[in-house]
A and B are shown apart, each in its own frame.
Chain A
Amino acid sequence: MQNPYLPREAEIVERVQEAPTIFTLKLRFTDPAAQGAYGYVPGQFNMIYLYGIGEVAISIVSDPDETETLDHTIRAVGRVTRALSRLQPGDRIGVRGPYGRGWPLLEAQGKDVALITGGLGCAPLVSVIRYIVARRERFRRLLIMQGVKRSDDLIWHEQYQRWRELPDTQVLLAAEVAEPGWTWHQGLVTALFDRTHIDPGQTIVFLCGPEPMMRASIYELGQRGVADGDIWLSMERNMHCGIGHCGHCMIGAPFVCRNGPVFPYPELKALLGKKGF
């Protein structure tokens, strides 16, 4: 019987420092067959194993069709991620995955797609943006709204600049605390709703970020007539196994690792924002 907990060795091909505590690791399986066989959907995640220290769940930020590397953008906050941040190209780690339900990209075809993110919540959606940009004709309007606490926290400036040049694409950024030179909005990401138009019934919304930010966004979307079923969100919880066995990541009945991390809002509505779940 296959051991579902066993990682495969991967090599760090490139390391990019995105912000003082945020970095991207571009990975490649050392076994070419494993690299060739690996496929995923934007929104899915991998369990990244640091030798001798442990595993941590990280979402995949690359486009599924870029098969050269497998990219993970990570904030150094915990025991494992801080140690991961010290790794360099050539270092070996373990990877197992992909796990979970990704973003509903088939359902999004032919619709306006609004991507609303906060902080490093943009990471799980970057894969979606890359996916849509590469297949632009299949989707209607693309709206990207990203908020950060401090303007210095914004990563991927150049990409945002590039994406805003694309046809029928709107990029809106907000920082609660703006440093000199910040040309975007100062305030909460939810204030950006007044600077755009959302066409209810024609729009599918993908949310990722801190839960208060997602709840505030859901409220704004409701005010604008967007149906609950058109709102999808990506959740984060403690994950040890990644395959629905260990029980840490449950929010009520759903296992975030198996039934999520991407959920249609109605599946979480009852418990979202309820302290302790």
Chain B
Amino acid sequence: MAERRNFLPRSEFPRLLSELISAGYRCIGPRVRDGAIVYEPITGVEDLPQGIHDLQAPGQYGLEQTAEPRFFAWANGPQALRPLTFAGRDKLWTAERKADGSVEFAGESPQAEPVAVIGARACDLAALYIYDRHFMQGEHPDPWYTARRQKLFLIAVHCTHPSLNCFCASTGDGPRASYGYDLALSELDEGFLIEARSEKGERILAGLPVKKASAEQIETADREIEDAGRRQVKGVPSRNLKDVLFARLDHPRWNEVAQRCLSCTNCTLVCPTCFCHSENDVPSLDGSRSEHYREWDSCFTQRHSYIHGITIRPDTRTRYRQWLTHKVGSWHDQFGRSGCVGCGRCITWCPVGIDITEELAAICR
């Protein structure tokens, strides 16, 4: 694999964006907004978070500006590929009621434009692979997800700056991106090692002024990625905790974590593999038209488990337990792997800093 890698000098990096734009892609990449790294449209490399480091701790996220030349010297932000594929809210169809009382249904036809995402992390790609199975590969493919997903061009950046909340090495999903991308980058101070993994990727690569990477560059890049894995301080006790979790449904830790958990849904809404959503009607005042939406939902809401007068999970204990036993337990039966890719977002964006790895350690000890 190493010998296939090419080197793109930092000064030529803007060429990657211009190649993508001339190939018809809208470029989405990391940029700083409101104190966090978010994935939004970028028009040039000047939008990228050059020299920015992220400082993450349970319940805390901050950025720091350095003089370093790198664009990707941080771990992640609150979201990456999730909103680009599975949007917070989508209109599914509209019902129109005619004067004679008949109801006409008109489905939306989701259209997506080609989008190139620069800076997908290994954890994000692992999560996307799960979303693909869930939304696209079943008996009823989801048209919205599929439309957006099929238009994605994914440029991975191997992770060299894990946060204190990252644990992808222990889930086996990073820090090196090993599948699911069109191009992958390793960032060095002087530029990028670049490799293609798809025909689309090869076509973009062919237009770039690359030269063969030196052995030293390859060694530096590989070492940084390996170090990134070694530096991670958190981890899951095991990659398959299904049996142990379901054997401990009455563990006192569920009560204890419920004393801290706000049941606020943030963990589930930043999780790149959580897929729960609800459907809602929004009727017009005059009764002639009703729009039917789906929007992100969470197993931490009362409504999630409500059925004819009964709420199956009325309290935080049962909701937190539902989340965790599904995410790293019954997920194995559904997807053949855990639903946790080690991105650490649920730890960082929990307003009170609940740490999934600590909870798992306490329950599975």
Contact = CB atoms under 8 A, between A and B. Distances in A.
A167 interface: no
Provide the main secondary structure of the chain A interface.
loop
B78 interface: no
A246 B334 contact: no
Interface string B325-358: 1100111111000000000000000000000000
Contacts of B318: 275-276
Contacts of A246: 275-279, 294, 297
Interface in A232-277: 236-238, 240-241, 243-248, 250, 252-253, 258, 270-271, 274-277
A92 interface: yes
Interface size class of B (residues with CB under 8 A): 35 or more
B105 A238 contact: no
A166 interface: no
Contacts of A236: 307-308
B238 interface: no
A112 interface: no
Interface in B311-330: 312-313, 317-318, 321-322, 325-326, 329-330
Interface in A1-25: 1-9
Nearest to A239: B307
B105 A7 contact: yes
Interface stretch (A51-59, A130-138, A196-204): A51-59
A124 interface: no
Given A9-B102, A51-B103, A92-B101, A78 B299 contact: no
Contacts of A77: 308-309
B179 interface: no
B199 interface: no
Q: Considering residues B103, B109, B283, B312, which has the most beta carbons from chain A within 10 angstroms of its beta carbon? A: B103
Q: Considering residues B140, B276, B281, which has the most beta carbons from chain A within 10 angstroms of its beta carbon? A: B140
Contacts of B107: 3, 5-6
Interface stretch (B92-100, B157-165, B211-219, B222-230): B92-100
Contact of B330 (A3, A52, A54, A250): A250
Given A8-B105, A9-B103, A240 B306 contact: no
Contact of A243 (B139, B147, B332): B139
B297 A245 contact: no
A81 interface: yes
A253 B333 contact: yes
B279 A238 contact: no
Interface string A72-105: 0001011001000000001111100000000000
A93 B103 contact: yes
Nearest to B326: A250
A30 interface: yes
A262 B150 CA distance: 35
A276 B102 CA distance: 41
The 10 closest A-B pairs by CB, nearest first: A276-B318, A52-B283, A253-B333, A247-B276, A3-B107, A253-B330, A4-B140, A52-B290, A243-B140, A6-B107
Interface of A: 1-9, 30, 49, 51-55, 75, 77-78, 81, 90-94, 236-238, 240-241, 243-248, 250, 252-253, 258, 270-271, 274-277
7 contacts: A1-B147, A92-B103, A94-B95, A243-B139, A248-B305, A252-B333, A258-B138
